[in-house]
Chains A and B, each alone.
Chain A
Amino acid sequence: MSHAAVAHHTSTGLDSRKIAFWTFIGSECLLFGSLIATYLVYEGRSVSGPTTHEILNIPLTSISTFDLLMSSLAMVLALAAVQRGDKVWGRVWLGMTALLGAIFLGFQAYEFQHFVHEGLGFTTNLFGSSFFTLTGFHGAHVFVGVIWLLTLLVRSLQGKLGPEKALNVEIAGLYWHFVDVVWIVIFTVVYLIQTTPLPTT
């Protein structure tokens, strides 16, 4: 009895999980799009409290941005390794991606607590509310991604992540890269394009 032949006829020859996941990513565009639109609409409208120019740390965030970009590199290398059955490098790169993601979260945690210390809290003003919600949603996505990657790493260590399971890694990769891409937009829109005048060096 050929389970595979019967169960896997598809109209497109593509895996259903990949189709579903890209659809999910499409809907996430709307999720983050609404958050970003709100941030932009509210920029410069805070009535009191710290605003962008006074508090955002561009050098630090540039490093964390670079860190996340490198994590995407680690992710594609992880996928390539798993696809060719390279157990060792698959685990190395999966672990590396998760580590870089965790480092990004570390930077973000530091930034958040520093801002609170400087007088910008979640409820301080419009900027605080929209900034922390936007970047917090992104950070939560990174966190989920790190857990996902660590799960895959454990599966690999259990010998259950061979090349026939590469799609699982590919889909985790799609998620991870998308989270990176959202950060690319956030870094530009929130950190680099600021309404208040730039420092004159």
Chain B
Amino acid sequence: MATTAMPHSTTAGPTAPTGLWSWITTTDHKRIGVMYGVTAFVFFLIGGLEALIIRLQLGAPGNSIVSAEHYNQLFTMHGTTMVFLAIMPLSAAFFNFVIPLQIGARDVAFPRLNAFSYWVFLLGGLFMNASFLAGPLFGTGTLSVAPDAGWFGYANLTSPQFSPGPNIDFWVLGLQILGIASLAAGFNFITTIINLRAPGMRLMRMPVFTWMSFVTQFLIVTAFPVITIGLVFLMFDRVFGTNFYRVSAGGDVLLWQHLFWLFGHPEVYILILPAMGIVSEVLPTFSRKPLFGYAVVVYSGVLIGVVGWGVWAHHMFATGLGPIADSVFSASTMLIAVPTGVKIFNWIATMWGGRLEFRPAMLFAIGFIAQFIIGGLSGVMHASPPADLQQTDTYFVVAHFHYVLVGGAVFGLFAGFYYWWPKVFGHTLRDGLGKLHFWLMFVGVNLTFFPMHFSGLLGMPRRIYTYGADLGLNTFNLLSTAGALLTGVAVLVFVINMFLSRRGPPAGPNPWNAATLEWATDSPPPVYNFTVIPTVHDLLPLWRKGGMEPSPLPATPPAPIHVPPGSVWPLCAAIGIITMGVGALMHHHLVPSLATALVGLAVLVVSIYQWAFEPFEV
């Protein structure tokens, strides 16, 4: 059926419309990627601020910079923010901007669903952080009612009996809302990667970043439903008084732990795989050498995703699982070190014999490898249940996961920033400031987290707001605090770099002389991405003669290219969902709660119908 005339622009113009409304209604993956990046970076700074306050409190024994209750809120929000509002959405920023370009597509499979994911993320993050100021609305006598039971919210501390205030409600509802955003994006990117690749781009010709993101999306769509149910049970216990985690009714608090970690372990692979993908792009580019063992790296990533489903109870070695369960999960956890190690060897082999260029992106990628190895080593130590019985719930674990998440994921994401910045904005970040950022951060991160191996093994427990002066922990904590401050300075250098580099010279399509398709088009790309969709004949289309046809791409498109219109319905649907969340927050007052939730539901339903029936052609 031919398309009828529609009230949108079939513009062939390379630039997108301007103005606030164009951003609010955008369905362009590049704009959505930028919005994810900006928003997530702000949350990263907030999470970093929370960390700094934590470190200031722990800098000396017996400190009283914050109260115990506020300290609980700080480490809870630090963890929740960094995992769900910083690292995941920073990865999403790269999924959004880079994947369609890397596979030679004009956009993702479902552009409006893409926008929806972003708006739900933004509103969900604001919802959760509003708790810092929402105390007066709940008559608690405090300003902040931020969640305070840890980022993993163990039952039954989170039960209505032990957490009667609104804090945990913010946490549960906020996570449910954020889960919707992630799931929607998961369906979107899986479909995009399966179905929108350029001609000739077989799966085993896709860039490794796209591959790792593909595995990540499968982990998201399988793991998030499990925590959704765990959170539903907690929500029902809190709002309706059900018995899922009520011990007196026969409920088992370990059910929460299982459901949480069934999600939680795939979640950490969701956090690290995209960064591994970024490293796999950056290293070959700045080694002037193809990735060593592409197929093996891809299969290892897939294997990590699959085996990652079978290790969850290694977070529960201290709960009395029994020797059989302990052994099974110990074995699977040790097993997963194998594909991880394979990747590391392949990265090193990529650099070996290459002509290395130590640009900031490359420094961060190499830093990733070194620090991920350290984090991986402590991880393998945790894999032994008897050893873990000493390590669990101590700062040894804190050292482990910060090495892999900060030394690993965050460094990988910064590598991605430096690498793709010119593609997004048209100019590179400054090299000098970039190297300063790297070295300050490298020293800062190691200074912060390496001493924690020692304080942990000396027995310093997690989640304590202070410690005695005669436990031998003072120096280690002081070093960590100094490191944290240094890390903060490093991030500040990056922020300065972002601003100072704006007047830099145009970068051109391929400033790094890289191999993959996103570098074949302008920086920044025209709104339709490519003047023509190329046919791909090689894994490294820009490095191999005949790897891409036509080469180079024509300067202008041969015929007008249809650009999808914007839509306001994704934002409206997101507003509907948040309104329902706000209604649920008020669950102690039936009528206003129900009324608000129903208004939210009505907004959501209307938005869905409008979305379904508005004219929209990709």
Residues of A within 8 A of B (CB): 1, 3-4, 6-7, 9-12, 14, 16, 19-20, 23-24, 26-28, 30-31, 33-35, 38, 41-42, 45-48, 122-123, 125-126, 128-130, 133, 151, 164
Contact = CB atoms under 8 A, between A and B. Distances in A.
A9 B199 contact: yes
Given A11-B196, A164-B1, A41 B255 contact: yes
A197 B98 CA distance: 59
A30 B250 contact: no
A26 B561 CA distance: 35
A123 B252 CA distance: 15
B251 interface: yes
A20 B226 contact: no
B14 interface: no
Contacts of A9: 199, 533
A129 B226 contact: no
B196 A125 contact: no
Given A16-B109, A38-B255, A47-B250, A123 B225 contact: no
Contact of B190 (A23, A47, A125): A23
Contact of A34 (B196, B230, B249): B230
Contacts of B259: 34, 38
Nearest to A41: B255
B221 A27 contact: yes
Contacts of A45: 250, 252
B194 A19 contact: yes
B195 A34 contact: no
A45 B250 CA distance: 6
By Cβ-Cβ distance, the 6 closest A-B pairs, closest first, are A129-B242, A31-B225, A34-B229, A30-B225, A27-B221, A45-B250
Contacts, number: 127
B36 interface: no
User: Could you say which of B236, B243, B559 has the most chain A C-beta atoms within 10 Å of its C-beta?
Assistant: B243
A133 B191 contact: no
Interface string B307-327: 000000000000000000000
21 contacts: A1-B560, A1-B562, A3-B2, A3-B3, A4-B3, A7-B562, A7-B617, A11-B196, A16-B109, A20-B109, A20-B188, A23-B190, A23-B221, A26-B221, A27-B225, A30-B222, A30-B225, A38-B255, A122-B241, A123-B241, A126-B249
Contact of B195 (A7, A19, A129): A19
B197 interface: yes
A129 B255 CA distance: 14
B228 A16 contact: no
Contacts of A133: 232-233, 236, 242, 244
Interface in B211-268: 221-226, 228-230, 232-233, 236, 240-244, 248-252, 255, 259, 262
Contacts of B240: 122-123
Contacts of A129: 236, 242-244, 249
B183 interface: yes
Given A123-B240, A129-B243, 11 more contacts: A3-B562, A19-B191, A20-B188, A20-B191, A27-B225, A41-B252, A42-B255, A45-B250, A122-B242, A123-B242, A129-B244
